[in-house]
Amino acid sequence: MDSNNNHTFTLASISLLESNPVKTVTGPLPAVFRSPELQFFLEPDGGQHSIIFDIRITQLYRLSEVQSLCVSEGSESTKEKTYSKGITIQFKDEEESSSFHGAFEQWKKEVVIQVAFFQLGFITERLLAERSNEHKY
């Protein structure tokens, strides 16, 4: 799966767990993987309203053959406190659920690999710069 391309799935419905009471939006609704995000549109035509998950800090759990729970971690940085967010996803059938889970795992691996390469490149640059400075004396 090429991370430069988007991968789109069609979902039967999404329930927003942070709303009180829980709000369910029925579809068909598009869900789009685009590195490093997973975007769930809350309108059938893929309009402006959506919820975005950072794949690096998101978990996907199967609740049944056709229902899953998607949860993203919150953070407590000194600048901003964010809370975890979650949705339940209803798929039209087990095959669509399995395909979605497979795509999620693949995209998550690709994002981790991209981050690792970025970090490795940064570390390599720092080491080369340090060695270059050592030879100046």
Q: Is the pTM of this model over 0.75?
A: no
Output the average pLDDT for the chain.
Answer: 81
Residue 103's Cβ-side half-sphere holds a number of Cα atoms within 13 Å equal to 22
Residues of the chain with pLDDT under 70: 1-5, 75-80, 112-137
Render pLDDT for 55-92 as a digit per residue (tens, 0 to 9): 888 999 999 999 999 999 876 655 667 778 999 999 99
Residues 6 or more apart in contact with residue 44 via CB below 8 angstroms:
27, 28, 29, 30
The amino acid sitting at 33 is F
Model pLDDT, residue 88:
96
Q: Domains of the chain (ranges plus CATH)?
A: 7-134 (2.30.29.30)
